[in-house]
Amino acid sequence: MEVRRKNVGYAARQWVQDYKVREVDAGTCERNGNTFLTGQTYKENCNLCTCGTSGRWECEQNACLIEPDIIQAVNRGNYGWRAANYSELYGMTLNEGIRYRLGTQRPSRTVMNMNEIQMNMDPQTDNLPPYFNSAEKWPGKIHEPLDQGNCAASWAFSTAAVASDRISIQSMGHMTPRLSPQNLISCDTRNQGGCAGGRIDGAWWYLRRRGVVTEDCYPYQPPQQTPAEVGRCMMQSRSVGRGKRQATQRCPNTQNYHNDIYQSTPPYRLSSNEKEIMKEIMDNGPVQAIMEVHEDFFVYKTGIYKHTDASFTKPPQYRKHGTHSVRITGWGEERNVDGTSRKYWIAANSWGKNWGENGYFRIARGENECEIETFVIGAWGRISMEDMHNHHHHHHRRHI
């Protein structure tokens, strides 16, 4: 066969001199018309296959993050959403996806018992529209989804994103910072695991007591390998009285001179009542939600997500879930042909803009799908009138 790789051909010739020819065939494997020797490998999706001594391929049996038959099952079924392959997730095992792409720990019991704020809602006067999108009510103030890569730090990404939107809305656009998840990942290390997962209550504590700079000042560095190394903290701040902080270090991005520290007020927990969550978003801006991510969520492309039974024909290792946190920015409903309607939340993920609906997803609303309504958080930025004034003139200050 002429398709043999050079080294394979050479090794095989050596063999022929030492052994009888028929034993050569016993130690080789075929694939796509190519011949491989014992011990040679190739990767099939997330599984390594090795040419065994018997001339048979022996492959690992991991459940992969991207399973083509699960994608097909979702797209053939009547689930209300469509699935797709993502090249950036292909080749990872399901375990790796759960381990490196999520990263929010379930809140401790004390945090779960945080008092929910009481909202006085008047059903007569509080008209909640059938559709609402923060990006339309507050143009230029809702930040686009980032990509956490293979770093289990949704705890930092969702917190930074919600705080960024809230500060922009509250300051009426005088400040529209995109806050730095890396600042949280590298510096909020007390009981936090960086790229190995963390807690949102810890992230909000850090935002309130220490504060963070912008993404442009302290840019995100996606990990080059897993498990990720967390870089040392490159931003410190000091108190300047009344709880305010000031940076004592320059921006890690040397092109940026704006090391302003942004802070938040303590977070508050909303009730799990969808109407109260809706009212909060409409009045004050996006909220943070913790959710369970199942194996089929990774391949979501478009539509209204609900966890499906697409993997139920497969062995149990194909069904896994982990805890994640996201930012809910709005809601809507879709009319079905039969006149019924399907209600949904609009939420931003942190898997880049190539994933889902430009980095967003829609998920069933009002039925606690994947526990998305169980633990919902809001927070205010810490903004004074002098902040509004100073930041407004930021751009001119440089020339003085």
Any idea which residues carry the catalytic annotation? 324, 349
Kindly report the backbone phi and psi dihedral angles of residue 390, in degrees, each rounded to the nearest multiple of 5, phi listed first: -60, -50
> CA-CA distance, 183 to 212, in Å (whole number)?
6
Residue 151 to residue 263: CA distance in whole angstroms: 24
Burial of 366-397, coded b for 16+ CB within 10 Å and e otherwise, reads beebbebbebbbbbbbbbeeebeeebeeeeee
Handedness of CA 156, 157, 160, 166 (dihedral sign): negative
Structural contact between residues 164 and 378, judged by C-beta atoms closer than 8 angstroms: no
Q: What's the token pair of residue 223?
A: 């990990």
Token representation of residue 347: 């939420």
| Helix axes of 154-170 and 200-209: crossing angle, nearest 10 degrees | 50
Determine the Cα–Cα distance for residues 195 and 192; give it in Å rounded to an integer. 9
Residue-wise DSSP of 269-335: EEPS-HHHHHHHHHHH--EEEEEEEEGGGGGEEEEEE---STTTTS-GGG--EEEEEEEEEEEEEEE
Distance CA 160, CA 225 (A): 23
Between CA 333 and CA 88 the distance in angstroms is 31
- Please, what's the largest Cα pairwise distance for the chain? 93
Give buried/exposed letters for 236-247 (b at 16+ CB in 10 A, else e): ebeeeeeebbeb
